[in-house]
């Protein structure tokens, strides 16, 4: 059956709770079928990859994991070894393992909605899928710094601190963009703290707060690390830097970690439209 005739319903959630349902958007399968036709007459795989990555970013930014699931399933068939697609697939799997989405499975209200179900894998299962996909992305593109950072976070969660440090060092050596470098220092701070290297942990949190001076996550991490080293003055200094600006949604990239490439959805879409216009 054509994807255009599918009538799948999606469960809507907010803050870990089921709040309703909606229909899938037919525009996405329609566009994907057009791309299949495009590839049959013109093997413009770079454009197809750019389209998928841009739309993946948009859907991630909207937290539309229902339409994104079908999008990524098709992308995995059309572009199985494209690093950006592997990265997007991994980001979705990683996001489903975060508490915000894991809590949805425990919301009993969805059970009273006939014909709908919440299909969220367990944290261990979806994190394992994300780890595999991040590794694959790195195998295809060893310079993919953010894939290394996110892989390191998952390794840290499993207590594989040495492996996490290796990935973080490679990511930082690649001189990534500011947000990715920020994520790298936050994860490195966690890893160093878990290894009992508190001074090193503090250095990473300070480096993160230098990149984003108002970022709440970095300042609180630095304060905790300083307190654990016995430096009360430094701990208080970091806390005193918290301000109204620290509450702004764009002040701390950690607040939007779960949307992956969705951080740059506007830029990706602008670039895509520029290519279409040529």
Residue-wise pLDDT tens digits, 191-200: 999 999 999 9
Task: Tell how many helices (H) and how many strands (E) occur in the chain.
Answer: 13, 2
Answer whether 83's CB lies under 8 Å from 144's CB. yes
Does pLDDT of 111 surpass 60? no
Does pLDDT of 23 surpass 70? no
Cα separation, 46 vs 243, in Å, equals 44
Higher pLDDT, 248 or 61: 61
- Of the pLDDT bands very low, low, confident and very high (cuts 50, 70, 90), residue 238 is very high
Task: Compute the mean pLDDT over every residue in the chain, rounded to the nearest whole number.
Answer: 88
Answer whether 239's CB lies under 8 Å from 209's CB. no
Across 138-176, b (16+ Cβ under 10 Å) vs e yields bebbeebbbbbbbbbbbbbbeebbeebbebbebbbebeb
Q: Assign residue 204 the CATH number of its domain.
A: 1.25.40.10
Tokens 């707060």 -> residue: 209
Question: How large is the average pLDDT for residues 40-52?
Answer: 85
**What's the pLDDT score for residue 1?**
46
Question: How large is the average pLDDT for residues 195-224?
Answer: 96
> 84 to each of 116, 129, 136, 253, how far by Cα in Å?
31, 16, 11, 20
Strands 17-23 and 9-14: antiparallel
Higher pLDDT, 90 or 45: 90
**What's the pLDDT score for residue 119?**
74
Question: How large is the average pLDDT for residues 21-28?
Answer: 69
- Domain that includes residue 165, residue range: 3-277
Answer whether 224's CB lies under 8 Å from 230's CB. no
Cα separation, 255 vs 37, in Å, equals 39
Higher pLDDT, 32 or 144: 144
Q: Measure the CA dihedral 10/16/17/19, to 10°.
A: -40
Higher pLDDT, 98 or 23: 98
Cα separation, 246 vs 263, in Å, equals 18
Share of the chain above pLDDT 90, in %: 66
Helices 45-61 and 265-277 sit at what angle, rounded to 10 degrees?
Answer: 150
**What's the pLDDT score for residue 25?**
66
Answer whether 208's CB lies under 8 Å from 215's CB. yes
Domain total of the chain: 1
Does pLDDT of 77 surpass 90? yes
Does pLDDT of 10 surpass 70? no
Q: In which element (H, E) is residue 184 found?
A: helix 178-194
């Amino acid at each position: 059956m054509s994807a255009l005739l599918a009538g799948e319903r999606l469960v809507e959630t907010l803050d870990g709770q089921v709040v309703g349902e909606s229909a899938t958007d037919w525009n996405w399968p329609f566009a994907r079928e057009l791309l299949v036709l495009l590839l049959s007459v013109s093997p413009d795989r770079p454009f197809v990859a750019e389209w998928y990555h841009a739309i993946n970013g948009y859907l991630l930014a909207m937290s539309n994991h229902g339409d994104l699931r079908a999008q990524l399933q098709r992308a995995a068939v059309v572009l199985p070894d494209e690093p950006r697609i592997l990265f997007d697939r991994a980001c979705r799997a990683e996001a489903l393992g975060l508490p915000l989405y894991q809590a949805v499975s425990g919301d009993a209200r969805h059970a009273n909605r006939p014909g709908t179900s919440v299909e969220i894998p367990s944290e261990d299962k979806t994190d394992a899928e994300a780890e595999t996909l991040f590794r694959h992305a790195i195998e295809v593109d060893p310079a993919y710094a953010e894939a290394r950072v996110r892989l390191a976070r998952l390794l840290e969660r499993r207590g594989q601190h040495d492996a996490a440090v290796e990935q973080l060092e490679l990511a930082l050596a690649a001189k990534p963009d500011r947000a990715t470098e920020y994520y790298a220092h936050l994860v490195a701070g966690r890893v160093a703290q878990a290894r009992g290297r508190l001074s090193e942990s503090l250095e990473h949190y300070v480096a993160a707060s230098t990149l984003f001076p108002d970022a709440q996550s970095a300042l609180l991490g630095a304060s905790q690390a300083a307190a654990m080293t016995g430096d009360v003055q430094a701990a208080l200094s970091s806390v005193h830097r918290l301000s109204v600006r620290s509450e702004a949604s764009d002040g701390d990239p950690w607040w939007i970690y779960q949307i992956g490439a969705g951080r740059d959805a506007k830029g990706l879409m602008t670039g895509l439209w520029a290519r279409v216009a040529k």
